[in-house]
Amino acid sequence: MTGPLRVGVIGCAGIAVRRMLPAFAASPDIEIAAVASRDPDKARRVAERFGCRPVHGYGELLERDDVQAVYVPLPAALHAEWTQAALDTGRHVLAEKPVTTDHLRTAELLELAAARDLVLMENVMFVHHRLHGAVRRLLADGAIGELRSLGAAFTIPPLPDGDIRYDRELGGGALADVGIYPLRAALHFLGPGLGLVGARLTRGGGRRVETSGAALLSTPDGVTAQIAFGMEHAYRSSYELWGSEGGITVDRAFTPPADHVPVIGLHRDGKTEEIRLAPHDQVAATVAAFAAAVRSGVRTDPGTTLRQAELLDEIHRSASYGAPVATVGTG
């Protein structure tokens, strides 16, 4: 590939307009070729803002010969259809999380991408932030001794009643939307051998999807991971790792703004050391990683993507459900 990667965007979702399109536009490795919407006026407005071509209809975008890769920010239930369509037409794909709502379908699409020598990357951005590499190095250097446990949580305040994340048919629910963050953190630090011990999900009053939950997981050698998630809560975005000689804590772990100064809390011998890092733009880093994967032909961690999909399905299948709780609507 010579020159910037020419990307087409299938859908004008909020995350596309707020985060990904600005990051594409700022990247020297990316050229935004086109933006597609089922609403021609919306496509035109977004295309004008980002200096690209508007396209009416998702299929029309895949007929263009100036699109080398596709970003899919559609509701989760539509990811599989349009990811496959893009792969079938020879396009690399950056798909919003989760890649699909079924681990068998995710496996099929990863296999299809590999067979066609295409990149299929899931847009889990926090793993590209330098913060988590620094935490991994502390663990590898024995900063807290032998790792014993991980705890991670991501919770957000209530959403407007009409938000698609409350829509079961569109693949909504707290597990896939926010639970994926602490689950991926557990996989990031403990590896793909992580297995489910048990899980609990709860539906808010009047909701048809789970609005909160928790799960206990473990590695084969007994390192445990406790994850919690929810979308009708006070905001929380953190993880902690505890070992035989100390602990590591991280706040604002999953969706920090680009100018945020990350702080690692290192707890040893009854004392806490704060390790401050330089700010890092994880959205820009994700875009760069996708372009680099396409350029090099090296696919980005498909094994973790698949294991994550398997665990999401297993949590859904095996979780017990708590009694519905009262929900405060936001209109």
What is the per-residue pLDDT across 173-203, written as a single tens digit (0 to 9) for each?
Answer: 999 999 999 999 999 999 999 999 999 999 9
At residue 331, does pLDDT exceed 50?
no
Question: What pLDDT score was predicted for residue 148?
Answer: 98
At residue 1, does pLDDT exceed 90?
no
What pLDDT digit, counting tens, does each position of 67-104 carry?
Answer: 999 999 999 999 999 999 999 999 999 999 999 999 99
**Alpha-carbon radius of gyration of the chain:** 20
pLDDT level of residue 328 (50, 70, 90 thresholds): very low
Rounded CA separation 307/309 (Å): 5
Q: What is the mean pLDDT of the chain?
A: 95
Token readout for 175 is 């597990």
**Does 42 participate in catalysis according to the annotation?**
no
- Residue 282: which of 14, 13, 2, 23 has the closest Cα? 23
Rounded to 5, what percent of the chain is helix, strand, coil? 35, 25, 35
What pLDDT digit, counting tens, does each position of 304-319 carry?
Answer: 999 999 999 999 999 9
Residues 6 or more apart in contact with residue 102 via CB below 8 angstroms: 80, 309, 313
Question: What pLDDT score was predicted for residue 324?
Answer: 60
What pLDDT digit, counting tens, does each position of 134-165 carry?
Answer: 999 999 999 999 999 999 999 999 999 999 99
At residue 42, does pLDDT exceed 50?
yes
Q: Please compute the mean of the pLDDT values over residues 100-127 and round it to a whole number.
A: 97
Cα 35 to chain centroid distance, Å, stands at: 21
Q: Please compute the mean of the pLDDT values over residues 53-65 and round it to a whole number.
A: 97
3-state secondary structure of 5: strand
Question: What pLDDT score was predicted for residue 244?
Answer: 98
Cβ-based burial of 267 (10 A; exposed 0-12, middle 13-18, buried ≥19): middle
Token pair 């079938």 in the structure block, residue: 88
Token pair 């793909």 in the structure block, residue: 192
Residues 6 or more apart in contact with residue 177 via CB below 8 angstroms: 76, 165, 231
- Residue 96: which of 18, 203, 160, 195 has the closest Cα? 18
What pLDDT digit, counting tens, does each position of 259-292 carry?
Answer: 999 999 999 999 999 999 999 999 999 999 999 9
pLDDT level of residue 329 (50, 70, 90 thresholds): very low
Question: What pLDDT score was predicted for residue 300?
Answer: 72
Cα dihedral: 105, 109, 110, 115 (round 10): 140
Question: What pLDDT score was predicted for residue 44?
Answer: 98
Rounded CA separation 29/52 (Å): 16
pLDDT level of residue 330 (50, 70, 90 thresholds): very low
Rounded CA separation 262/280 (Å): 8
At residue 327, does pLDDT exceed 70?
no
Kindly name the residue from 19, 79, 92, 97 that is annotated as catalytic: 97
Token readout for 143 is 């900063």
Token pair 């859908």 in the structure block, residue: 11
Rounded CA separation 72/326 (Å): 34
Q: Is the dihedral of CA 27, 28, 30, 32 positive or negative?
A: positive
At residue 2, does pLDDT exceed 80?
no
CB 54 within 8 A of CB 62: no
Rounded CA separation 51/38 (Å): 19
